[in-house]
Amino acid sequence: MQKMKAVQIAKAGGPFELVERAVPEPAAGQVRIRVRACGICHSDMLTKENLWPGIKYPRVPGHEVAGVIDALGPGVTNWRTGQNVGVGWHGGHCSHCARCRRGDFISCETLQVTGIHLDGGYEEFMLAPENAVAAVPEGISFEEAAPLMCAGITTYNSLRNSGARPGDLVAVQGVGGLGHLAIQFANKFGCRVAAVSRGSDSAALAAKLGAHHYIDTRAQNPAEELQKLGGARAILATAPSGKAMSALVSGLGADGKMMVIGASPEAIEVTPLQLIGGRKTIQGWPSGAPADSEDTLRFAVLSGVRPMIEKFPLERAAEAYERMMSGKAQFRVVLSTTGNTP
Ligand SMILES: NC(=O)c1ccc[n+]([C@@H]2O[C@H](COP(=O)([O-])OP(=O)(O)OC[C@H]3O[C@@H](n4cnc5c(N)ncnc54)[C@H](OP(=O)(O)O)[C@@H]3O)[C@@H](O)[C@H]2O)c1
Ligand SMILES: [Zn+2]
């Protein structure tokens, strides 16, 4: 039996463990992916700390997967071996619930989440339902495609559904894994981009990524600064903090919309009066379905949007995760398995 390396969490709150496992065989409707790269998303903490319902341990985290299909389970007809593919948060839908019937696959009533309900990409070979897989186009490396499977799709998809149009002011809160891609996407969409960050450390890089304005929340009131710029048509709020989002609501302009992306158990505090005048809205946004991933990848190839990455080998996943959690990574930590495969 062929063996592989995997990095798992054995119990809720437990450490990352490097283990040897049998290379899994794809069941009916599944493909097996030889993982080449897997980004480390802040949401991997949900698996590590058991913060999402239904996690069964041991579990392999990772929902920013890029690799190559190397085996097909019975009945799979939409994919072939050798294809470059990616898998994101969306780990498969049922196809027959009311939401799936309307094509809203990310809202599937029994959505499978990669790295939560199914083992994810912190391993050399991974299984995925065929309807969770997105094709990776030519012109982008596995390491660059991987972060686009969650950080990329989430920011691209929320931005294109935010109502912001070319010339509008878009604020990006948090210059991290998601934020540094959001700045690039908003710039390429033709928007005026304000990066909102704690401290001045990211100012030069934010400008390089395409931010026209930089707001340091340690030195400035971010809502006032956004109002001085005319008020934001969209705020992509990626910071994992309800409190930090609350401080931005008054930075919305007329018809402005805050897209809530960062996951936090803290309340977002807002008064009705902050929203009524100017018809402002606050909306949550989950990543998207595989078709949205394909749109994201295509747009990235077309426009030159790429993640800035720090590469770690799979074996150093624990250190890589700590690096992401420290907030010091510039800007996405990616596990590479290219050097490991037999
Ligand atoms: N909705 C979705 O579908 C979806 C998808 C992916 C991720 N997420 C969530 O999105 C959030 C960001 O993920 P990520 O991978 O980009 O994380 P990340 O790389 O750690 O970046 C988060 C950034 O938010 C800012 N930040 C962190 N803590 C903060 C605080 N207490 N107050 C204010 N700002 C803070 C920091 O930026 P500065 O240093 O610039 O201030 C940090 O770089 C996480 O909560 C993650 O779970 C949601
Ligand atoms: Zn994610």
What is the reported pLDDT for 54? Answer: 87
Q: How far is CA 285 from CA 143, 157, 257, in A?
A: 25, 9, 12
pLDDT range class, residue 340, cuts 50, 70, 90: very low
Pull the structure tokens for residue 200: 């001045």
Q: Is 202 in the pocket of ligand 1 (CB under 6 A)?
A: yes
Residue nearest to atom 10 of ligand 1 (CA): 262
Q: Per-residue confidence at 342, pLDDT binned at 50, 70, 90?
A: very low
pLDDT higher than threshold 70 for residue 341: no
Ligand nearest to the CA of 332: 1
- What span, in angstroms and rounded, lies between the C-alpha atoms of 136 and 149? 10
**Residue 266: count of CB within 10 angstroms of its CB:** 12
The DSSP letter of residue 149 is I
Q: Is the pLDDT of residue 165 over 60?
A: yes
Ligand in closest contact with the CA of 200: 1
Task: Reply yes or no on whether the pLDDT at 11 is more than 90.
Answer: yes
| Nearest ligand atom owner, CA of 46 | 1
Protein residue with least CA distance to atom 34, ligand 1? 239
176 Cβ closer than 6 Å to some ligand 1 atom: yes
Residue among 111, 116, 90 nearest 12 (CA): 116
Taking the centre of ligand 2 as the mean of its atom positions, its distance from the CA of residue 220, in whole angstroms, is: 29
Distance of CA 286 from the midpoint of ligand 2 (Å): 10
Q: How far is CA 185 from the centre of its chain?
A: 14
Nearest Cα residue to atom 36 of ligand 1: 174
The string of pLDDT tens digits covering residues 16-48 is: 999 999 999 999 999 999 999 999 999 999 999
Q: What is the mean pLDDT of residues 152-164?
A: 98
> Which residue's CA lies nearest to atom 8 of ligand 1?
262
Q: For ligand 1, atom 35, which residue shows the shortest CA distance? A: 239
The pLDDT tens digits of the residues spanning 184-242 come to 999 999 999 999 999 999 999 999 999 999 999 999 999 999 999 999 999 999 999 99
Pairs from 315-318 (Cβ < 8 Å, separation ≥ 24) = 315/5, 315/7, 315/18, 315/340, 317/7, 317/16, 317/18, 317/40, 317/122, 318/7, 318/15, 318/16
CA–CA separation, 298 and 284 (whole Å):
24
User: Is residue 179 within 8 Å of 158, Cβ to Cβ?
Assistant: no
Q: Where are the domains of the chain?
A: 3-150+288-336, 162-284
Which CATH superfamily hosts domain 3-150+288-336?
Medium-chain alcohol dehydrogenases, catalytic domain (3.90.180.10)
For ligand 1, whether the C-beta of 72 sits within 6 Å is: no
What pLDDT, on the 0 to 100 scale, is given for residue 338? 76
What is the pLDDT at residue 117? 96
Calpha distance 260→226 (Å, rounded): 17
pLDDT value of position 339: 59
195 within ligand 1 shell (Cβ under 6 A): no
What's the CA angle centered on 339, arms 184 and 22, to 5 degrees?
110
CA of residue 272 to ligand 2 center, whole Å: 31
Q: Is the CB of 261 under 6 A from ligand 1?
A: yes
Tell me the CA–centroid distance for residue 77 and ligand 2, in Å: 28
**What mean pLDDT is reported for the chain?**
97
Ligand 1 atom 2: residue of nearest CA: 286
Is CATH 3.40.50.300 the classification given to domain 162-284? no
120-130 pLDDT, tens digit per residue, is: 999 999 999 99
Tens digit of each residue's pLDDT (9 = 90 or more) over 303-335: 999 999 999 999 999 999 999 999 999 999 999
Put simply, whether the predicted model's pTM sits higher than 0.95 gets the answer yes
Cα 60 to chain center, whole Å? Answer: 17
